[in-house]
Amino acid sequence: MYGFKLHAWSALNGKIVKYDIYPANEHDFTVLCHMNLEWAAYGGPKQIGDKGYQSGTCLTPPKVNTKQVDPRWKQEYGAARKCVESAFSVLVGAGLRWGQVKTYLSLRLKVALGVLAHNLKFIHLSDSVSV
């Protein structure tokens, strides 16, 4: 095994709702199946993913050489995918890939802190603080 991959569910506003870390040699579709076990708890909204997640449950953009395009894919889903990709770009820009961690626990901590810092911008402190 040569590393790990971060798989996450993101809301359309960019907030990371759920994430998990899997070995890099685990296929994306297998990870999707594991993560989907909890999908009903989130209300089962549409899943939009990249081409690595192509399956019956996940809406993905068509590949260039696709002979039969999935009729469920709509052009407006491209904008939703851009929100998700932007959330990941923010995590990478915040240093998620930088440095070396020596243990799986330290990797999990680094990712958790990165996700926490990213999601803090979705909390409105003025709404929850009463004077």
The pLDDT of residue 56 is 64
Predicted confidence (pLDDT) per residue in 39-74, tens digit: 777 766 677 777 667 766 777 777 778 777 777 777
The full set of domain ranges for the chain reads: 4-124
Q: Is 84 left (phi over 0), alpha (psi -120 to 50) or beta?
A: alpha
Enumerate residue ranges in the chain where pLDDT < 70.
1-2, 43-45, 51-52, 55-56, 125-131
Query: Which residues are CB-neighbours of 121 under 8 A, at least 6 positions away?
Result: none
Inter-residue contact 10 to 80 (CB < 8 Å): no
The pLDDT of residue 118 is 86
The pLDDT of residue 100 is 80
The pLDDT of residue 105 is 92
